[in-house]
Amino acid sequence: MTKKKLNLARSLQPLATRDYRLLFAAVGIEVFGTGVWTIVMVFQVLAIDDSPLALSAVATGMSLGLFVFSIFGGVVADRYSKRTIIITVQGCTAAVMTVIAVLSLTGTIQLWQVAVASFAMGAGSAFFFPAYSAYLPHILPAEQLLAANGLEGALRPSLGQGLGPAVGGLVVGAFFPGVGAVIVAASYTIAFVITLFLSRLPEMSGPSAPEGATSAWGDLREGVKYVLNTRWLLWTLVFGASLALIIQGPIEVLLPFLTRERFADPEATFGFLLASYGIGGAIGSLVVSSLRLPRRYLTFMLACWGGGTLPLIAIGVSNSFVVMLVALFVVGATTGAGVVIWGTLLQRLVPMEMIGRVASLDFFVSIAFMPVSIAIAGPLSLLVPIPVIFVIAGVVPPLLAVIAIAAGRMPKTELARPLDT
């Protein structure tokens, strides 16, 4: 019992820091607002043009905004004040969402305006998250970064995938999309106001181009060169891209078809399965953040990501709802745990002046392969039975993890740079 209490206290330590409390509150409110927007956007588009093509085009806007600006978001984060970037993004997004709310409430909103808003939210995230990742090491001691990333890792699935969409669905169902848009605008406005109270840190004031870099392109080249010359980092990114390519499509595209084939109420079943995946991610994040960073941190992280896909085999071969529920919970928990460790390693192993660029490259690689996986999952299911695809998705990542551990010389890095605090 005492040990558990100590672990819980460890996971909450970052909240003792004023700036982190403010940032945590702002991110939580922003994530909630984004969750509401996922529902508002869908029904606002359907109210304007009840067409799957229109909805697909608008939904692609957010991913496109992320993709276009993801790399340069890191360059900006390394050259300018992280605090200023965080405040600017929140303020601009609040302004965009306020305009959307007004247009929706007055009945004058058009499809292209919703698409632009979606694109703007994606672009904002591309600048926000590298700045956020680079900001944390300035306000927290190194031994608290794991806990901070764990808290944030638990926040996203619980508010962004749980509470936010639930509230959005209730509000839009009871009223109309414009009321939901007001909630989104209010969320971002509150987050913006909170970030205004973040402390001005001397080392983060004003533009600060890294020494020897004469342009944004020069900074970007320097970041790419650093990744290519850092074996543990390069092979982790290669593995992460491969993992996104292998599992994203089956879970997001093919799982609904399995539930339709196996269960009488496929919509509710699919919802419960995704909820289990999200809850697993939140719990996995909290658990790993309450512990000390593993001595074999890279090996443990890749084991979580690689070994954590093995339960997908059960989804392929079992028709039991309980088995599928538990399997996705485990996949979510191990994924969440690995993500928390990964974020912490970027902040502790990567040079301070390089964190933004490396975080954005990681972001870029991830979002580049997710839509590819989603795009090829459907056509692949016409050639290979869906259960077989899930079995393959469960078996291949562990093998790739072993390759990444060996090729990246992970044990050598772990011995040379111990971080068990």
Go through the domains of the chain in sequence order and give each one's CATH number: 1-198 (1.20.1250.20), 215-421 (1.20.1250.20)
Q: Positive or negative CA dihedral for 397, 402, 408, 412?
A: positive
Asked if 321 and 340 count as a contact pair (C-beta separation under 8 A), the reply is no
Pick from 41, 59, 406: nearest CA to 232: 406
Tally of CB atoms within 10 A around 420: 10
Residue 1, pLDDT score? 42
What Å distances lie between residue 291 and 3, 8, 157, 232, 392, CA to CA?
A: 10, 9, 20, 23, 32
164-204 pLDDT tens trace: 777 777 787 777 788 888 999 999 999 999 999 998 876 54
What is the reported pTM?
Answer: 0.72
- Report CA dihedral (132, 134, 140, 146) to the nearest 10 degrees: 80
Name which of 143-147, 300-304, 401-405, 406-410 the model is least confident about. 143-147
The residue with greater pLDDT, 235 or 61, is: 235
Task: Pick left, alpha or beta for residue 394 (phi over 0 → left; psi -120 to 50 → alpha; otherwise beta).
Answer: alpha
The pLDDT-based confidence of 350 (bands split at 50, 70, 90) is confident
Residue reference for tokens 């050639």:
383
The predicted model gives 289-297 an average pLDDT of: 84
Residue 216, pLDDT score? 62
> In Å, how far from its chain's centre is CA 341?
14
What secondary structure letter does DSSP report for 204? G
224-267 pLDDT tens trace: 888 888 899 999 999 998 998 898 888 877 887 888 788 887 76
Residue 6, pLDDT score? 43
At residue 346's C-alpha, the angle toward residues 341 and 351, to 5°, is 150
Taking the alpha carbons at both ends of the chain, their separation in whole angstroms is 21
327-344 pLDDT tens trace: 999 998 999 899 888 888
192-201 pLDDT tens trace: 999 999 988 7
Average pLDDT, the chain: 83
